[in-house]
């Protein structure tokens, strides 16, 4: 059974694994192999721990295994991440994580959320009510820039 809970420091290695496997599962027709590998590099455990402490950071767990995660930066009003393991893709896990992040945003009094969607995720976010802006570039931690689509959604209380 799938559940979503607040992330904890000991989750960092599993979060990194989900990040890497999710990115490597992206169609290479949308990004070059070099972009995929630069993007697949996970953050450091310390970076994850800081996000866990300072942001709304949740993990999806199935059979005691972390299969997805999502991060809401409540200060900047930005959904920073929604990643799911390739093993659970197309099962609604990403939508469940996104829904919880939006619920938390509403509880915090946020009226609008923004995010940078990867090219493969634009339709996912559009189906969830996000509106695409003009295509842009996102700079990864490695310095590599990848194509993305900034998107926004007005939350209804």
Would strands 112-118 and 78-84 be described as parallel, antiparallel, or unpaired?
A: parallel
**Could you report the per-residue pLDDT of 126-142, keeping only the tens digit for each?**
999 999 999 999 999 88
- Whole-model pTM: value is 0.93
CATH code of 15's domain? 3.40.630.30
- Letter string b/e over residues 61-98, b meaning 16 or more CB atoms within 10 A of that residue's CB: bbeeebbbbbbbbbeebbbbbbbbbeebeeeebbebbb
Note the pLDDT of residue 156: 82
With bands split at pLDDT 50, 70 and 90, how would you rate the model's confidence at 89?
confident
Look at residue 153 and tell me if it is in a domain: no
Contact 69, 48 (CB under 8 A): no
Look at residue 13 and tell me if it is in a domain: yes
Find the domain containing 47 and state its range.
2-109
Structural domain total, the chain: 1
* Bridge partner list, 147: 137
**Could you report the per-residue pLDDT of 11-48, keeping only the tens digit for each?**
999 999 999 999 999 877 889 999 999 999 888 888 99
């Amino acid at each position: 059974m799938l559940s979503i809970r607040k992330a904890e420091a000991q989750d960092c290695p599993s979060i990194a694994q989900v990040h890497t496997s999710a990115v490597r599962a992206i169609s290479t027709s949308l990004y070059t192999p070099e972009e995929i590998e630069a993007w697949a590099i996970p953050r450091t455990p310390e970076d994850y721990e800081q996000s866990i402490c300072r942001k709304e950071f949740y993990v999806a767990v199935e059979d005691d295994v972390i299969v997805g995660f999502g991060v809401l930066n409540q200060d900047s009003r930005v959904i920073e991440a929604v990643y799911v393991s390739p093993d659970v893709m197309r099962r609604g896990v990403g939508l469940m994580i996104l829904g919880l992040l939006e619920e938390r945003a509403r509880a915090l009094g946020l009226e609008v959320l923004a995010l940078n969607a990867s090219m493969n995720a634009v339709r996912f976010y559009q189906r969830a009510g996000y509106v695409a802006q003009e295509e842009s570039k996102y700079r990864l931690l490695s310095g590599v820039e990848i194509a993305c689509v900034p998107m926004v959604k007005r939350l209804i209380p």
